[in-house]
Amino acid sequence: MSTGSLFEGGIPNEIASEIEDIRKRINRANFLYYVKDQPEISDAEYDRLMRRLQDLENEYPEAVTPDSPTQRVGAIPQTEFAPYQHAVPMLSLANAFDADELQAFDERCKRFLGMDRETPIEYVCELKFDGLACSLTYRGGILVAGATRGDGFQGENITENLRTIKAIPLNLHHSRRESPDAKAVPPVVEVRGEVILEHDEFRRINEEREINGEPTFANPRNAAAGSVRQLDSRITARRNLTMFCYGVGAYDGVDFDTHYEILCALGDWGFKVNPNIKVAGNIDEVVAYMNEWETKKESLPYDIDGMVVKVNSLDLQTRLGSVSRSPRWAIAYKYPAHQATTVIKEIRVQVGRTGALTPVAIMEPVEVSGVTVSRATLHNEDEVHRKDVRVSDTVVIQRAGEVIPEVVEVVKEKRVGDPEEFTMPDKCPVCGADVERAEGEAVARCVGIACPAQIRGRMIHFTSRNAMDIDGVGPALLDQFIDNGLIHDPADLYSLTIDQIIPLERMAKKSAENAINAIEVSKNANLSRLIYALGIRHVGERTAASLAQHFGSIEAVRNASEEELAEVQDIGPVVARSVAKFFDQEETTEVLRKLKEAGIDPTEEARRETEEFAGKTIVFTGAMEKLTREKAQELVFKLGANPSSSVSKNTDLVVAGDKAGSKLEKAISLGVKVISEDEFLEMVKQAGVEID
Ligand code: IVH
């Protein structure tokens, strides 16, 4: 791509080429990380490139293009999605459930084509991803539109959301040509595939939702669909979705002979194409591949619900055409569902860390594709009523991918008599405290502060990796601590002695020492970790970091009023109320006192809103005598300003040191206020900071 057309309007050549160079490097890094799974540069280097590009684009807004990597962050929330008409309908697939049905499919194809039964047809076998089908349109190699499948003819325009998925190239020109005979990117091409969530990310999102008191997603497919169809694409951007591409819709200016060629071209253009593809010479090879994947699919990091078999020759595909809304040239092979029937013995109510009550079905043990299952989640009270699950009912349960088994439906014909309907207890089954269900919420909660179930959950959270990171003190050991009355709250960990631990089950002297050491080391955790570890409702890692940065100490957060809390960046009224309520409790005061006594009272230099600096965007340029640029930037940040590395009309102040160059010139031409290092130091002094 030439830079001339991109950067008209007075952007210096060296800047234009720097921007283009950085974009290429970021695009390549994205491709290697998100598509090829082979990262080459460090996270720090990636962040540095992104920051530099962002700065340059702030300085030269006219250089921003829709395919710039900065444009993935998520756009302004929409009120609804516009309808999107598919130029070529997105068809669905007929199903086959066993080898005989695959053979029948092969015979149908041959009959339709007038072929004799002995002549083999070549097929391509692919995984059938369990997510949401989407289409991506590229014009001149640039992503211009993205849509859901919808009813196959009309979907929804979700371009802004799809843009945030890093496995989707925004610009095909920058992707790597993998093979020497790769097809050139055509003027128009519509690429189709499935947006999915991997298991790890699914778990992470559900954990976060649990912390925030939001209902969790039942499976990765629902989570993917919910994330892709967010009106606020900034939320989509935070869910690490990915997309496997498996075909094309409308295209022009490129020729293909086979479906396999299409898949190779997609890979060459920078799309993520699943490597588990097989070109099978005949239907027997297809059957063998299906059998091979029956067990192999269990080890994939994402869910599939079958395999797709496609006639490889595009000529044959055209001749076969489609019937109703499915092509005759493809079929979905569905693995036998991981379902079984069993009987509900009991509906037990579990209590989680946040006090959330979850009904769990305790069932007669039953084998579901090789795994014995005796418990299944019923999610929440409304779900139990919706499915009308009662004790003694016969139910169909299923195990989908990695996910916890769930009750699909009740076999009503087998219900005996009129068993009692399920009701959520009004007292916590673990501690007996009241259970409350807030209006409009699906989740009922135990309000008991000393509830052992909550204590266990809170302790697991407190010690977890992103919190205090107490390696070697896992859930099993915590259970022993709690059961033996050694700990009642997180602060008690710090008064444990080795002599208390050694007598516990499965504890050798060495592992007891390791546990004590790990607890000791965790005393050095910084303030954000500590705030996060406390497990305040609605306070995830990011919010904890904002609180730490703003207040600088636990004491300051504790003393802040609800109004003051709500003034912190990223903190809304709901979170502010939750934080204030947490610190208002006597139990919290006691835990904090004990933590402090154990020497845990981290501080971070708090950011202050000074009259001189608050809200100002400041650029440092040239060499300064008394401070390094980094130190100066850190200093003004702490005083409430936003340091930036480039000058634009939004800059409030430029501090010009020795040999200041183009930034100074630009500031002067834009009429931005410029001061010297000495004047800057004077301002700092006014703001109450002495520099020697
Ligand atoms: S091909 C006409 N390939 O399955 C061909 N589909 O019932 C249509 N799917 O809505 C699609 N993995 O969401 C194809 N490797 C794959 C697939 C796949 C998942 C989904 C897709 C479609 C549904 C078809």
647-662: per-residue pLDDT in tens?
A: 888 889 999 988 888 8
What is the number of the ligand 1 atom nearest to the C-alpha of 247? Answer: 1
Q: What is the pLDDT of residue 633?
A: 83
Q: What is the pLDDT of residue 517?
A: 94
Q: What is the pLDDT of residue 218?
A: 78
| pLDDT band with cut points at 50, 70 and 90 for residue 1 | very low
CATH number for the domain running over 339-414: 2.40.50.140
Q: What is the pLDDT of residue 133?
A: 96
pLDDT at residue 682 above 90? yes
Mean pLDDT of the chain: 89
| CB distance 130 to ligand 1 below 6 Å | no
Q: What is the pLDDT of residue 400?
A: 63
128 CA distance to ligand 1 middle (Å): 6
- Give CATH superfamily name and number for 617-686: BRCT domain (3.40.50.10190)
Among 48-52, 258-262, 450-454, 683-687, the least confident range: 450-454
Q: What is the pLDDT of residue 176?
A: 55
| pLDDT band with cut points at 50, 70 and 90 for residue 105 | very high
Overall average pLDDT of the 48-75 stretch: 87
Among 27-31, 217-221, 523-527, the least confident range: 217-221
Using H for helix, E for strand and C for coil, what is the string for 139-187? ECCEEEEEEECCCCCEEEECHHHHHCCCCCCCEHHHCCCCCCCCCCCCC
Determine contact, residues 201/240, Cβ cutoff 8 Å.
Answer: yes
Query: Per-residue DSSP letters for 232-254?
Result: SHHHHHHS--EEEEEEEEEEES-
| CB distance 91 to ligand 1 below 6 Å | yes
What is the number of the ligand 1 atom nearest to the C-alpha of 149? Answer: 10
pLDDT at residue 5 above 50? no
Q: Name the 3-class secondary structure at 490.
A: helix
| CB distance 302 to ligand 1 below 6 Å | no
pLDDT at residue 369 above 80? no
| pLDDT band with cut points at 50, 70 and 90 for residue 180 | low
| pLDDT band with cut points at 50, 70 and 90 for residue 2 | very low
Q: Does domain 95-334 have CATH number 3.30.470.30?
A: yes
What is the distance between the alpha carbons of residues 135 and 144, in angstroms, rounded to a whole number?
Answer: 11
| CB distance 330 to ligand 1 below 6 Å | yes
Q: What is the pLDDT of residue 643?
A: 81
For the chain, what percent of residues have pLDDT higher than 90?
Answer: 58
| CB distance 128 to ligand 1 below 6 Å | yes
Q: Which of 134, 194, 273 most suits a substitution to test ligand 1, by most atoms within 8 Å of the C-beta?
A: 194
Report, at the CATH architecture level, how domain 13-72 is classified: Orthogonal Bundle (1.10)
Q: What is the pLDDT of residue 249?
A: 95
136 CA distance to ligand 1 middle (Å): 15
Are 95-334 and 339-414 in the same CATH fold?
A: no
| CB distance 306 to ligand 1 below 6 Å | no
Q: What is the pLDDT of residue 75?
A: 66
Q: What is the pLDDT of residue 9?
A: 59
pLDDT at residue 355 above 70? yes
Q: What is the pLDDT of residue 40?
A: 82
pLDDT at residue 226 above 70? yes
What's the CATH fold of domain 452-597?
DNA polymerase; domain 1 (1.10.150)
Report in angstroms the alpha-carbon separations of 260 from 93, 267, 309: 18, 11, 12
Overall average pLDDT of the 67-90 stretch: 86
pLDDT at residue 623 above 70? yes
Catalytic residues: 128
Give backbone dihedrals phi and psi of 374, rounded to 5 degrees, phi first. Answer: -135, 0
Supply the Cα-derived Rg of the chain in whole angstroms: 30
Q: What is the pLDDT of residue 403?
A: 61
Q: Where are the domains of the chain?
A: 13-72, 95-334, 339-414, 452-597, 617-686
| pTM (two decimals) | 0.67
What is the distance between the alpha carbons of residues 397 and 407, in angstroms, rounded to a whole number?
Answer: 4
232-274: per-residue pLDDT in tens?
A: 888 898 899 999 999 999 999 899 999 999 999 999 999 999 9
| pLDDT band with cut points at 50, 70 and 90 for residue 179 | low
The structure tokens listed for 386 are 């919706």
Q: What is the pLDDT of residue 42?
A: 80
What is the distance between the alpha carbons of residues 231 and 187, in angstroms, rounded to a whole number?
Answer: 30
Overall average pLDDT of the 200-214 stretch: 80
What is the number of the ligand 1 atom nearest to the C-alpha of 322? Answer: 2
Nearest Cα neighbor of 380 from 419, 411, 349, 404 is 349
Overall average pLDDT of the 500-527 stretch: 90
